[in-house]
Amino acid sequence: MPPSRSPSSATKLALALVLWFGAGGALAANVAGAVTHLSGMLLAKKTDGTSRILAQKSEVIVGDTLATAENSYARVKFTEGGEVTLRPNTQFEIREYSYEPDKPEGDNIVLALAKGGLRAITGLIAKRNQTKVQLHTISGTIGVRGTVLGALQCNNDCGNIRTAAGTVPENGVHVDVGDGAISFTNNTGTQVYTAGQFGHIRDFDTVPVIVPPTAVPLPPPPPNRFDTGRAGVGRASANECVI
């Protein structure tokens, strides 16, 4: 029997490259978007307990929970064109994200607002698959139907936020629709909110109601008004830091 031969250096190199690019492809598939605007501090918390301090142009990954610090704002743009602006002291999870331009049947976005608030403009997935974008909150699930919407949830932690009437928002989830429509579903059923409407949902077992504009929390500033140079955090040249 002839002696066995160990793989040549060229074979080992080829195998290593295949494994490298295969892993890179898998990682790339998990990228949901990137930070486009940032003022203050933004963390990405992973399920394994590690965290990354993000900067402008940092990628956000499926499974990340994005957390803004006090007095911090961030905007994230997804690969399918949607974008989310996060308020200070917000925790926002990217639970599921699947998008391929030529495979609409695989579209899927599942997000969760654990704390704080956001303003969102939906992208291509909500336009071509209206049932494939969901935002979970403490009071129920928002179904997005191609829209501009705001959401804020309060749990005795909104004392520094004011409504249009100058009052502190009540506990629960507050929503507003600037364009398109959303559905809000909880244990009581489903309420649809259309452009120009405002809503309040106290908890998972309370019927969603339509409220007047004066009861709505004031929105966060637009991204072009972010102070992106404050404290040196969030500049385009800043590097990520794993902690």
Structural domain that includes position 97: 33-242
pLDDT attached to residue 183? 96
Per the CB < 8 A criterion, the answer to whether 86 and 116 are in contact is yes
Q: Is residue 220 part of a domain?
A: yes
- pLDDT of 162-212, one tens digit each? 998 999 999 999 999 999 999 999 999 999 999 999 999 999 999 999 999
% pLDDT > 70, the chain: 79
Q: Is residue 26 part of a domain?
A: no
Q: Is residue 27 part of a domain?
A: no
The answer for residues whose C-beta is within 8 angstroms of residue 46's C-beta and 6 or more apart is 52, 61, 63, 64, 65
Q: Is residue 160 part of a domain?
A: yes
pLDDT attached to residue 47? 86
CATH of the domain at 121: 2.60.120.1440
Q: Is residue 158 part of a domain?
A: yes
pLDDT attached to residue 225? 62
Position 17 pLDDT exceeds 90: no
- pLDDT of 132-159, one tens digit each? 999 999 999 999 987 899 999 999 999 9
Q: Is residue 25 part of a domain?
A: no
pLDDT band at 21 (very low <50, low <70, confident <90, very high): very low
Provide DSSP, the chain. Answer: -PPP-PPPHHHHHHHHHHHHHHHHHHHHHTEEEEEEEEES-EEEE-TTS-EEE--TT-EEETT-EEEE-TT-EEEEEETTS-EEEEPTT-EEEEEEEE--TT-GGG-EEEEEEEEEEEEEE--HHHHH-GGGEEEEETTEEEEE-S-EEEEEEESS--TT--BTTSPPPPSEEEEEEEESEEEEEETTEEEEEETT-EEEE-STTS--EE--GGGSBPPPPPGGG--TTGGGTT-TT---EE-
Position 115 pLDDT exceeds 80: yes
Q: Is residue 189 part of a domain?
A: yes
> Which residue has better confidence, 60 or 24?
60
Using alpha carbons only, what angle is made at residue 42 by residues 37 and 44, rounded to the nearest 5 degrees?
115
- How many structural domains comprise the chain? 1
Q: Is residue 23 part of a domain?
A: no
- Verdict on whether the full-model pTM lies above 0.85: no
